[in-house]
Amino acid sequence: MSTQLFNEGATEERAENARLSNIIGAIAVGDLVKSTLGPKGMDKILQSASSRGGDGLIVTNDGATILKSIPLDNAAAKVLVNISKVQDDEVGDGTTSVCVLAAEILRQAEQLLDQRMHPQTIIDGFRLAVASARSALESSAVSHKDDEAQWREDLLSIARTTLSSKVLAADKHKFAEVCVDAVLRLKGSTNLDRIQIIKKAGGKVSDSYLSDGFILNKKIGVSQPRLVKGARILVANTPMDTDKVKVFGAKIKVSDTAQLADLERAEREKMRAKVQKIAAMGINVFVNRQLIYNWPEQLFADAGIMAIEHADFDGVERLALVTGGEIASSFDSPELLKLGACDTVEEIIIGEDRMVKFGGAAAGQACTVVLRGGTGQMLDEAERSIHDAIAVLSQTIAEPRIVYGGGCSEMLMSKAVDDAAKLVPGKKSIAMEAFAKALRQMPTILADNAGLDSADLVARLRAAHYDGKSTSGLDLFEGDVVDVVGK
């Protein structure tokens, strides 16, 4: 008598079939994104099948963005997508590299399984290889944080490396300066909310710049000051409308227009009292998350207060953070409210749009990267590129040790694993050699994507490392093996 465990129509895979299915799914994900790896990697054009209203078009070579946009059924493939997401959240860049490396390791594992090697033996060999690779990487890491000039140059090199594979590669030197200047303003903090990125279509990408202070993409009210010095700012989330009864389902019946006029007059007086309470706090700038109707806007103008309406929740949260204030919703206890402060609040024009700039904010780390570009897709990808670079730099400041790129670190680890494998008896050494081969695939893919002879370049790179030149790497622009220090 058989017992049915699964729902009707469910399928079950076991042993070899299950392993093969998962490995093939993960390798397919790696092969999907590996063509985007490196400074010569290709972009992907993603078209959403369910876009409503918008065009649903994404042009990117960011691994996490690509993988998040693709529906997957394979369990192992989903694990690789999660790895990419975690890398994006924790570090910001390297999302493609982690997927490709994981896929290459699984490709080597598949070949070992074909040789009838037990999975546990492979896993033990891989763990020994990881320990050797990590030890080699840590011993090769250097830190120049005590040398300010060299430290800044290291940060610029990291930013240029991150931007080299992005849409901003042509202007990577300019944007590297922008990213480093923005991150150094944080004074060691990894809270990136103080760095805002604003996208404005039009102009050239090279017209982008770093602005000191916080820029809010909103307009100042009619007949109100366009420049305020020594600003005292109240950030609020409160209704400033006069034509709504706030009791749900309530109805008011009047018998003549005089009663209606009395009702409107009472509403206006109620709003006047609210504005007077706000003005009595001695503020000269009022920023509200909700709408400000014409009547209270006129009252603020009469009081000489700059009022900004409909600042979205992200806007008021960031503004409160950088000005040192708190978001208020009632004004009956002004002594409990914390006002924000900054040196100047002024109206500026970016492209054809008017915006509000808060300069000299209490949290001096605040700054805004203003991005210009020809298309929405270009700006979106530029924003992702800047975010990746800023995230990597902030993590580098928290952990100042650096290693060298261009396939240098991968070949260094591969050599260390190969050397360690010679001292390990049994089949585990075969698994370690397979792990080393997977590491060597990273510079191979970089060279392939650049249209170079990968077999020749990687063989020369390997020979250089075995010759003691442990800082050798690939220069994909010149197509040669070089000393990557200072590149």
The residues assigned a catalytic role are: 62, 95-96, 388
Q: Which residue has the tokens 């010679």?
A: 422
Q: Which residues contact 182 (CB under 8 A, 6 or more apart)?
A: 195, 210, 367, 369, 390
3-state SS string over 335-360?
HHCCCEEEEEEEEEEECCEEEEEEEE
Give me the residues paired with residue 197 across strands. 369
Indicate the pairing of strand 44-47 with strand 57-60: antiparallel
CA dist 158 and 162 (Å) reads: 6
Q: Centre a 10 Å sphere on the Cβ of residue 244 and count the other Cβ atoms it contains.
A: 9
CA dist 121 and 366 (Å) reads: 53
Give me the residues paired with residue 190 across strands. none
Half-sphere exposure of 296 (CA within 13 A, CB side): 27
Give me the residues paired with residue 216 across strands. 356
Which 8-state DSSP code applies to residue 402?
B
Q: Is 248 helix (H, G, I), strand (E, B) or coil?
A: coil
User: What are the residue ranges of helices labelled H in 115-227?
Assistant: 119-140, 148-164, 172-184
Phi, psi of 210 (to 5 degrees): -100, 125
Q: Any idea how long the chain is?
A: 487
Indicate the pairing of strand 306-308 with strand 327-328: unpaired
The answer to whether the CB of 193 falls within 8 A of the CB of 321 is yes
Q: Is the dihedral of CA 266, 271, 272, 273 positive or negative?
A: positive
Half-sphere exposure of 103 (CA within 13 A, CB side): 25
Which of 34, 44, 60 is closest to 167 using CA atoms? 60
Which of 33, 61, 87 is closest to 392 using CA atoms? 87
Furthest-apart CA atoms within the chain: distance in Å: 100
User: What are the residue ranges of helices labelled H in 303-403?
Assistant: 313-323, 376-398
